[in-house]
Amino acid sequence: MTYENLNIQQEDGILILTISREKALNALNGRTMDELAYFFGEAAPQMDDLKGIIITGAGEKAFVAGADIKEFLALDAAAGAEMAQKGQDVFFLIERFPKPVIAAVNGFALGGGCELAMACHMRVAGEKARFGQPEVNLGIIPGYGGTQRLIQHIGKGKAMELLMTADMLNAEDAHRLGLANHVVPAGEEVAKAKEIIAKVAQKAPVAIAKIVECVNAYYDGLKDGFAYEVKEFGATTGTEDFKEGAAAFIERRPANFQGK
């Protein structure tokens, strides 16, 4: 696929994926969602030496300031449900990706942008970041997982308040409530995300992928998260990475994990 709205750069095994629709405040239109679906569903899984992915927005104003409302105007109930399902499917690809995916939130993360950030494994917020789900102002609700993931991150009561009032959270409040992992000076979001991915990259790749699966299993109504953890713990004990990690611990040396 030729990317029109995604700018992808690689630095030392880390991919920096920039949503590049700056004039539209990086709003998620259909084309952008198609490109995200292809990237996380087809392209990125084939990258063997990938350490992790950072998602950010072009410019200084917005991470992603929502979905492209112009595309909503012709929707009826069936088309609206189809759009929401597609959006959720794309964001599940991100949430379930086996390498760390970090949102470097450099400005407004509203509506679909907040949902995108919440689908990532972690969020680094710049001081100018603002998070919110303002859909009720338009007479609709979040459709890309916002009503579900916001509860996971900040709890039911506060999530209800933000979803109903459409109030925004600044970076410090997002951090205090658990929505943002870190707050950094404006412009340092990507650097902090790189630092985190570099630390994760020193760990066993198979174990990192299993962590993603097990944490997601907690929120999957079709899975017993504890039973899933037992199964995957057993799976990791049979890996070459475990043998190497145990040997390195006993020999008091850094482990050399191979992802096997």
Mean pLDDT of the chain: 96
pLDDT for res 89? 98
**Predicted local distance difference test score (pLDDT) of residue 17:** 98
pLDDT, tens digit, 9 for 90 and up, residues 23-71: 999 999 999 999 999 999 999 999 989 999 999 999 999 999 998 888 8
Q: Which of 11, 60, 71, 115 is catalytic?
A: 115
Distance CA 108, CA 125 (A): 10
Q: Over the stretch 130-183, which tens digit does the pLDDT of each residue have?
A: 999 999 999 999 999 999 999 999 999 999 999 999 999 999 999 999 999 999
Question: Is position 95 annotated as part of the catalytic site?
Answer: no
CA distance 194 to 198: 6
Instruction: Say yes or no to pLDDT of 74 above 90.
Output: no
**Cα–Cα distance measured from residue 216 to residue 223, given in angstroms and rounded to the nearest whole number:** 10
**Percent share of the chain, pLDDT over 90:** 91
Q: Catalytic site residue 115?
A: yes
Q: Is residue 1 scored above 90 in pLDDT?
A: no
Residue 96 has phi, psi (to 5 degrees) of: -95, 5
Looking at the DSSP bridge assignments, the partners of residue 57 are 19
Please name every residue paired with 28 in a beta bridge, in sequence order, or none if there are none: 67
Q: Which of 95, 135, 189, 232 is catalytic?
A: 135
